[in-house]
Structure 1
Amino acid sequence: MTGSELARRLLSEESITSPIVSLYFTVPADPAHLVGLVRRACPDLDHATVDGVRGVVEDLRGTRGGVALFVSPPPGLPRRLSLPCELAESAHVGMRPYVRPLLAALQRCVPYCVAVFDNARAWIGVRREGLLVETAVIRDDAMPYGPAERGVMAGGSRDGYLRRIADRVAETVRKEGVDAVVLGGQAQEVPRLIALLPAVAHEVFAGHIIAEPSAVTPAKLRRLADEVVARWRAATEERLAAAVLDEAAGGTHAVEGLACCLAAAGAGAVRQLLVEDGPEVPGVACESCAALLPDMWPACPACGGRVRPVEDVLEEAVVAVLRGGGQVVPLPPYLLEGVQAAARLRRH
């Protein structure tokens, strides 16, 4: 499930009458401090909801990692999501879950598959929630294991072994919904495995490491794979931002800048929104035509309707795009070159 799909599911749980607390933090954390954070976000919040926040945080003692917590008044059940990265503390109170920090965290914490192999066996695992978990071990049953025989195996047998690894990697990508693939092996063998990857795995191939199952611990393998995926993600984000900004500059079904992106999001015209991973941006929303504006207006300049202030107009744009079936990609601010947002538009 992508970050946009998960956020869309959360937004389907919007409350009609009661506020929802969205709390982001890293455990271990001080429950009293987090409750104080929630109180500052909404001093008038009911005691039952505050107690619900405190109870969940206290139950997390002894665990580690990032947490996204969504709590509504009883009898609503709290929703807790564990994330494989540290999160800056923030609290938000509104009639729906606040999703920008969640999207940004999921963008940074890419779930991936790693396969590391040697002449005898391949180990395949998936990185989720901070752990590298084994999903399969494949052995080359036709491989003679004596050191003197390692270089004289039949090419057909070797290709069959590598093809089994490639097929299992592709199966893992499909079943586990991972976003990237990392391969590890001997320098001369990895290109052969890459060439055999089915399309579903080849499309998300992030890079490779030189390592063998017998010579690397799971912790070291995770660190090496994390570095590969981080470089791949940074390069992918850079290419995406450059492409959308170029399309916007050329007027090719894309726009850039906060005002233009808010207008397109309010009109339901955004297919893909690139949004700066940063602080809240106050603005207003029109209650009549749903226009979103980055400044404080006394009335909607588009229809003259009444406007309401919103604490984060970028969040409003994100929600509008998600509810319209679009994709949202949070990016580091420097990639958007100071424009805060850019968007690809729907082609009608």
Structure 2
Amino acid sequence: MRALSLAIDAHHALTPELRERIVENVRTRMQEHPYRLLSPEHFRALAALDTAGPPVVSLYLQLTPERRVGSGWRSALSALSHRISRTTDQSTRASVNADIEDIQGALDQQLPELGRGAAFFACRERGIWRQIALPIPLPDSIQIGPRPYLRPLLRTWGRSDRMLLALLSREQSRFFVSHLGTIEEIYRVKGQRIRGMLTDRVPRDRRDALAIQLMKDEAKALASMAEIIGQEFETSHILLCAPPDMSAAFRGHLSKESLSRLTAFETSVHASSAEIGAAAAAIQDQLKAQEERELIDRLREANPVAVSTGTQETLDCLSEGRVLTLVIDDSYAAAGTQCRLCGSLFEDARLSKCPVCGEADLDAVDDLVEAALQQALERRAQIAFVRDPACRSALSDKAPLQALLRY
């Protein structure tokens, strides 16, 4: 899908009204795009879905180049459908089959152009329909239940996996968001054709000053756009490619927080998305590794009252809404228990009564990490996965599940 576009020049300033329109356009675009990279707000809404009965079909399907040739994905989908039909009762089977037919119809109509896989969450009875492009090929799977099965998505999610790429020039600027190796152009901005303005009507001794001022005004507007897009997608870093004078002006209008997350890279503003993604890939990998190391250092050096260092302590803080950033060893998996009444999570899978509210109605949790991540999303906590072997080892010295706390 083509990027959103607008003009910023002497006749088109970045007014408060235009700022609001940019935010609205970005959000509308994400809603209308049938196969989209998942934004944080979409993810939180997905985690909150609960039919309280009717089954939601959660289906993950690899769409690698091999699957796309000769519609190889059809055989994989058929196998998944057959598998689920053998494990459901007759009343549930009719509902599930209808949802699977809808999924096949969507794939017949249009395979996603982005990514190497797709995820579907469907429940015709409750009007639930979500289809999402996956940047990486997750294993084929199908699950049914009253809530979407998010474990595969949650295992690939984290703030450091999303970065904003800003390619700036005086006549055209482009903004991209990258996620797990996939890059999508969000906005394209037509700038001021300065040469066309510097006519004989402008005195020669004022032309240089006017050109510099126009460039600074444009850089200020682009910095505001970068802040808006970065906030909407909750990106961890800004990768900047710009001429020296525009780069300096752009940096001068960023917030201190954004400036601390800014890194330069080199590519052409006219390059394709694939070329831009390739140019940024190595730097992105370095930034992710660096961010993991810094996160481990923050956990180690923080005041003891500002961190949780045990798995159960972390789960308790999460239930209380105190977690600012949930930090997870990406290889960690364990079963646990959850209270149906208060929602508290527990490491001990053998509990018979909730230690928090005393409720005896407890649910077994197959994947404690998935349940914790869902709570983190619902409570708007940041999520950080630790994947570097050395960082994972340092994290596990205390617990594979830790947190930086709000209070």
TM-score (norm. length: structure 2): 0.67
Report the identity percentage.
17
Match of 1:195 in 2: 251
Q: C-alpha distance in 2, partners of 1:50/1:279?
A: 34
Contact 1:83 1:105 in 2 (8 A): no
The one-letter amino acid paired with 1:79 is R
Aligned residue among 309, 313, 318 for 1:260: 313
Match of 1:33 in 2: 76
Contact 2:266 2:279 in 1 (8 A): no
C-alpha distance after superposition, 1:249-268 (max 9, x if no partner)? x5222112333222333444
Say which SS state the counterpart of residue 167 (structure 1) adopts.
Answer: helix
The one-letter amino acid paired with 2:177 is R
RMSD of the alignment, in Å? 3.7
Question: In the alignment, does 2:238 pair up with 1:181?
Answer: yes
Match of 1:52 in 2: 99
C-alpha distance after superposition, 1:116-158 (max 9, x if no partner)? 33xx63432323674335511324514899xxxxxxx836633
Larger RCO: 1 or 2 (CA < 8 Å, sep 6+): 2
Match of 2:405 in 1: 345
Alignment of 1:44-193 (within 5 A): 44=88, 46-57=93-104, 59-60=106-107, 62-64=111-113, 65=115, 66-74=117-125, 76-107=127-158, 109-110=161-162, 112-117=164-169, 121-127=171-177, 130-132=183-185, 135-142=188-195, 154=208, 157-158=211-212, 160-174=214-228, 177-178=232-233, 179=235, 180-186=237-243, 188-189=244-245, 192-193=248-249
Structure 1 segments, 4+ long, off by >6 Å, are none
The one-letter amino acid paired with 1:243 is R
Match of 2:330 in 1: 277
Q: How far apart are 1:184 and its partner, in Å?
A: 1.6
Q: C-alpha distance in 2, partners of 1:100/1:224?
A: 31
Contact 1:182 1:208 in 2 (8 A): yes
Structure 1 residues without counterparts, runs of 5 or longer: 146-152
Q: C-alpha distance in 2, partners of 1:12/1:23?
A: 18
The one-letter amino acid paired with 1:341 is L
Say which SS state the counterpart of residue 239 (structure 1) adopts.
Answer: helix
Contact 1:277 1:333 in 2 (8 A): no
Match of 1:308 in 2: 363
Q: C-alpha distance in 1, partners of 2:104/2:332?
A: 24
Q: C-alpha distance in 2, partners of 1:106/1:330?
A: 8
The structure that is helix-richer by fraction is 2
Count of matched residue positions in the alignment of Structure 1 and Structure 2: 334
Task: Call closer, same or farther: CA 1:34–1:238 in 2, change over 3 Å.
Answer: farther
Match of 1:207 in 2: 263
Q: How far apart are 1:100 and its partner, in Å?
A: 4.2
Greater CA drift, 255-264 or 52-61:
52-61
Q: How far apart are 1:304 and its partner, in Å?
A: 7.6
C-alpha distance after superposition, 1:71-123 (max 9, x if no partner)? 22535342112244443434443321233433444436525242233xx6343
Match of 1:17 in 2: 53
Say which SS state the counterpart of residue 265 (structure 2) adopts.
Answer: strand
Q: C-alpha distance in 2, partners of 1:282/1:297?
A: 10
Task: Call closer, same or farther: CA 1:75–1:7 in 2, change over 3 Å.
Answer: closer
Q: How far apart are 1:325 and its partner, in Å?
A: 4.1
Task: Call closer, same or farther: CA 1:341–1:297 in 2, change over 3 Å.
Answer: same
Task: Call closer, same or farther: CA 1:204–1:59 in 2, change over 3 Å.
Answer: farther
Say which SS state the counterpart of residue 162 (structure 2) adopts.
Answer: coil
Say which SS state the counterpart of residue 21 (structure 1) adopts.
Answer: strand
Q: How far apart are 1:342 and its partner, in Å?
A: 0.9
Task: Call closer, same or farther: CA 1:282–1:227 in 2, change over 3 Å.
Answer: same
